[in-house]
Amino acid sequence: MADVKKIATRESYGNALAELGDKYENLYVLDADLAAATKTGIFKKKFPDRHFDCGIAEANMMGVAAGLAATGKIPFASSFAMFAAGRAFEIVRNSIGYPHLNVKIGATHAGISVGEDGATHQCNEDIALMRTIPGMVIINPADDVEARAAVEAAIKYVGPVYMRFGRLAVPVFNDAATYKFELGKGIKLRDGNDITIVASGLMVNEAVNASDELKAMGINARVINIHTIKPIDREIILEAAAETGKIVTVEEHSIIGGLGSAVAEVVCAECPCRVVRIGVNDEFGHSGPAVDLLKEFGLSAENIVKTVKDVLGR
């Protein structure tokens, strides 16, 4: 595993925009003074006339994106998750969600893996916020291959999409040659009938590693990657609930309102089984290197293994 390539999904976002800019001439990018960090600067370099910096004014940026979409453009409004989903929430809700405009929100620096900047910038609430907006599609890609595919899927889909990208370089585990992104469809990465691990974003790779470790202990843990958190793939989750009877969810987000909540909502209503959520508990993060924080907050293969064993009483 030592030679696995690592790329941050924010990098994938910027690269995908730059690549797709030729194919989709109607694609425009907005940023709020963070083009170097969100990586939309890569697009700006190639298409300087199609990139508009709105300055440090995320509320207005979301409204401008709405106006661009209302006149037929496909705008990608980009900022950190904290400001895109947090600060600008009500503009996203009322100016993009309610009129169901074709705006794509590229939110980078999501989750605790923002690292050293600390709690003010570690957004663990964005999925919860976006999930409550009717008609909002939410994509949380797991690696470079999935993130690039997600950007194109967002362009092809007509309607508002919230995309979540990370700052930390993470392993590229999907095979670009064979990978297929289907909006709203989960992907079964490991088979198993003892328990199911449902993961999203950069926790998917950890879940796969955990499943492989568990297998060596004689535990067959199914792994499902939910890249589209809304609309969620009910079928794959209900099948897992029925066939494995126990679910552990893993996400780099608050355990309130994110993937775990979404899975529990589906399971509770239609096929009740035990659902244990791994995520950031009801607390703020703090400064530190991203990898150390992930470990500290239990967002690791190690903690997934431990949790699965606890649930199974092994």
Partner 1 sequence: MDKATKKQLEITACKVRMGIIEGVYNAKSGHPGGSLSIADTLTYLYFARMNIYPDKPDLPDRDRFVLSKGHTAPALYSTLANRGFFSTEELKSLRHIGALLQGHPCIHIPGVDMSSGSLGQGISAACGMALSGKISNDIYKVYCVLGDGEIEEGQVWEAAMFAAHYKLDNLVAVVDNNGLQIDGRISDVCSPYPITDKFAAFGWNVVEADAHDFDSLEKAFDDAENASGRPTVIVQKSVKGKGISFMEDQVSWHGTAPNAEQYAQAMEELNAQLRSLEG
Hey, which residues are catalytic here?
58
Stretch that binds partner 1, among 63-71, 225-233, 284-292, 296-304 (CB under 8 A): 63-71
Cα–Cα distance measured from residue 284 to residue 243, given in angstroms and rounded to the nearest whole number:
36
Nearer to partner 1, 28 or 181 (CB): 28
Contact pick of 35, 54, 81, 223 for partner 1 (by CB under 8 A) = 54
Nearer to partner 1, 35 or 61 (CB): 61
Cα–Cα distance measured from residue 267 to residue 255, given in angstroms and rounded to the nearest whole number:
16
**Contact flag: residue 73 with partner 1 (CB under 8 A):** yes
**Contact flag: residue 62 with partner 1 (CB under 8 A):** yes
Number of residues in contact with partner 1, rule: CB under 8 A? 29
**Contact flag: residue 65 with partner 1 (CB under 8 A):** yes
Contact pick of 55, 116, 191, 272 for partner 1 (by CB under 8 A) = 55
Nearer to partner 1, 103 or 163 (CB): 103
Cα–Cα distance measured from residue 165 to residue 227, given in angstroms and rounded to the nearest whole number:
11
- Which residue has 């919860």 as its token pair? 128
Nearer to partner 1, 30 or 127 (CB): 30
**Contact flag: residue 47 with partner 1 (CB under 8 A):** no
Residue 201 beta carbon to partner 1: minimum distance, rounded to whole angstroms: 30
Which residues in 12-31 contact partner 1 (CB under 8 A)? 28
**Contact flag: residue 136 with partner 1 (CB under 8 A):** no
Contact pick of 7, 37, 99, 312 for partner 1 (by CB under 8 A) = 99
70 burial (CB, 10 Å; 0-12 / 13-18 / 19+) is middle
Residues that bind partner 1 (CB under 8 A): 28, 50, 52, 54-55, 57, 59-73, 75, 90-91, 94-95, 98-99, 101
